[in-house]
Amino acid sequence: MEQGGALIPSLFTLRRIAYSIKEDRNDMATWNSRGLRGSFLEELVNMTNDKYRSQKLALVQKVPTPIKPITIDQTTRHITLAYFEQKSTVDYIGVVQGIPICFDAKECATDRFPLANVHEHQIRFMKEFEEQDGIAFLLIYFKAKDTFMYLPYAKLDRFWRRMEEGGAKHFKYEELDPAYEISTYSGTFVHYLEQIQMDLEQRDLSLIHISEPTRH
């Protein structure tokens, strides 16, 4: 089907991707997720992206944030002080079977996600990305629930506009669609391609609804 003039792969293709991943999930290494701290979500996403790439299902890269070193330890040659040269956009960008995607990976310690964790320039970038027929979203790890969620850009935008209109500066876990909870396999795998498929299906339904003639 077409979205904004761009050809979108069939849902059959994405279903085939999901099936392929499920068939291969037993080959994943096993980690104890509760034992990891700090960049836990980023580590899992990187592992997932490596797996997608090895299976030729997707090519997704971590976006480096340019930094300028200020102090370097002369013994270890490690950077001990630096500052960001420019604002980052999103954490990851890539393509899934011809579909451009971008997303940010966030961790949240409580059931309330502060919108301060997302910056205005990131919202603006994701909006522009969607206008170019891409798929933008957040991957959120709610630590208290040990749960991974996929948040479509459209929903994030509604929360953002609500805040700008004087509403809550956060959104609650309970406000998210439970259908967008991300499966994990062997405690290591954040299989977000299934949620991209669901996101596309929702967009398809919206387009069908818009295109239906009004009956009198």
List beta partners, residue 105.
Answer: 139
Residue 107: per-residue pLDDT? 94
Between 203 and 135, the more confident residue is: 135
Let me know if 180 is exposed, middle or buried by CB neighbors in 10 A (0-12, 13-18, 19+).
buried
Is residue 161 assigned to a domain? yes
Which of 36-45, 56-65, 186-195 is predicted most confidently?
A: 56-65
pLDDT tens digits, residue range 75-124?
776 656 655 455 668 999 999 999 999 999 999 999 999 999 999 999 99
> Helices marked H in 56-119 — which ranges?
none
Res. 20: pLDDT tops 80: no
Res. 137: pLDDT tops 90: yes
Which of 22-26, 42-46, 127-131, 189-193 is predicted most confidently?
A: 127-131
Is residue 71 assigned to a domain? no
Residue 23's pLDDT band (cuts 50, 70, 90): very low
CA distance 27 to 25: 5
Is residue 72 assigned to a domain? no
Is residue 149 assigned to a domain? yes
Res. 46: pLDDT tops 80: yes
CA distance 107 to 139: 8
Residue 187: per-residue pLDDT? 59
Is residue 163 assigned to a domain? yes
CA distance 203 to 113: 25
How many other CB atoms are found less than 10 A from the CB of residue 25? Answer: 16
DSSP character for 100?
A: E
Is residue 77 assigned to a domain? no
The pTM of the full predicted model, rounded to 2 decimals, is 0.74
Residue 36's pLDDT band (cuts 50, 70, 90): very low
Closest CA to 138 of 113, 175, 166: 113
Residue 184: per-residue pLDDT? 78
List beta partners, residue 194.
Answer: none
Residue 38: per-residue pLDDT? 36
Is residue 37 assigned to a domain? yes
Distances (CA, A) of 129 to 54, 132, 134, 135: 26, 5, 5, 7
Residue 188: per-residue pLDDT? 59
- Helices 153-164, 120-131: inter-axial angle, 10-degree rounding: 140
What CATH number should be reported for the domain holding residue 142? 3.40.1350.10
pLDDT tens digits, residue range 138-188?
999 999 999 999 999 999 999 999 999 999 999 999 999 999 999 877 655
Is residue 152 assigned to a domain? yes
pLDDT tens digits, residue range 63-73?
876 656 567 66
Q: How many domains does the chain have?
A: 1
Torsion of CA 201, 202, 208, 214, to 10 degrees: 160
Domain, as residue range, for 171:
2-63+86-209
The least confident of 5-19, 37-51, 77-91 is 5-19
pLDDT tens digits, residue range 173-183?
999 999 999 98
107 in Cβ contact with 42 (< 8 Å):
no
Residue 69: per-residue pLDDT? 59
Tokens matching residue 131:
């206008």
